Amino acid sequence: MKVLVTGVKGQLGYDVMKVLHERKIDCLGADIEEFDITDYAATEKFIKQYGPDAVVHCSAYTAVDKAEDNSDICYAVNAEGPRNIAKVCRDIGAKMVYISTDYVFPGIGDTAYEVDAPKQPLSVYGKSKLAGEEAVQILISNYFIVRISWVFGKNGNNFIRTMLRLSEDHPEVSVVSDQIGSPTYTADLAPLLCDMIETEKYGVYHATNEGYCSWADFAETIFRAAGCSTKVKHITTAEYPTRAVRPENSRLSKKSLDEGGFRRLPIWQDALNRYLKEIER
């Protein structure tokens, strides 16, 4: 089996490559330097030259607030990019993993979204990621669409790193407590994606670490685990306006993961402790 991983310089792509190497699977990582996914000719040439059996597509435009003012580039990367990759996968019969997001949902209520719940993205980023899902589903049938949320990994910036940085010179930080979701540790998600591509259990999945929290709960747990004395002031979303609207309810149901016979990821507190050890090393 040969696997191509896009977005290898990002958080998730980095860990997917690590797991493939550990499993001694023939793999190749690429980022924008190797080929720009918005350029069909370059995408086709690169992928066909390698000839993978599966493409784990982790690259994306992930600047959620900037996307509100840069919708062209956001759509090009998040919708045209996966469309280009899916077209090439169709030509060569390769499986494709497309990573999506809780932002495709409207974020209302307090129950977990099933994979087929109605979509209603609130932001340009969410709309572009949904357009990417739809493009993949139209073009191929051997896809795994995996929605994740609140991502953290060793290779990149994320909420945990921001909180640790702020704790260096802030005795207190204000964090929203009315947005509820689940963190996703890329080192836990990557083995699941590598398990998926070994199967033909195609479809749409949700995969995050287990358990729910608010961003404020998450911050408090980070400070406690890291031994910082920084306090967390709980604020509302209305008190912390951002360019892009974020969903209040990001709970994702793992029913399809269970039905597919895939193991759920560990609880997020456990993932956080392991991540803090990983970045300390």
Smallest separation, CB 240 to ligand NAP (Å) = 17
Tell me if 256 contacts ligand NAP by CB under 6 A.
no
Distance CA 113, CA 123 (A): 18
Q: Which of 75, 103, 113, 125 is catalytic?
A: 125
DSSP per-residue codes, 100-141: EEGGGS---SSSPBPTTSPP---SHHHHHHHHHHHHHHHH-S
Contacting residue, 4, 5, 7, 52, with ligand NAP by CB under 6 A: 7
Within 8 A by CB and 6+ apart from 266, the residues are 188, 209, 210
Tell me if 148 contacts ligand NAP by CB under 6 A.
yes
Q: Return the bridge partners of 174, or none.
A: 233
Distance CA 87, CA 96 (A): 10
Contacting residue, 149, 167, 177, 249, with ligand NAP by CB under 6 A: 149
Tell me if 191 contacts ligand NAP by CB under 6 A.
no
Q: Which string of x and - marks every residue 156-175 that binds ligand NAP (by CB under 6 A)?
A: x-------------------
Give kind and range of the element (H or E) at residue 79.
none
Contacting residue, 61, 105, 212, 223, with ligand NAP by CB under 6 A: 61
Give kind and range of the element (H or E) at residue 151.
strand 151-152
Compare residues 231 and 262 and give the one whose CB is closer to ligand NAP: 262
Tell me if 59 contacts ligand NAP by CB under 6 A.
yes
Q: Is residue 26 a contact partner of residue 54, using CB atoms and an 8 Å limit?
A: no
Q: Which spans of this chain sit near ligand NAP (rule: CB under 6 A)?
A: 7, 9-12, 31-32, 36-38, 58-62, 77, 81, 99, 101, 129, 148-151, 156
Residues forming the active site:
125
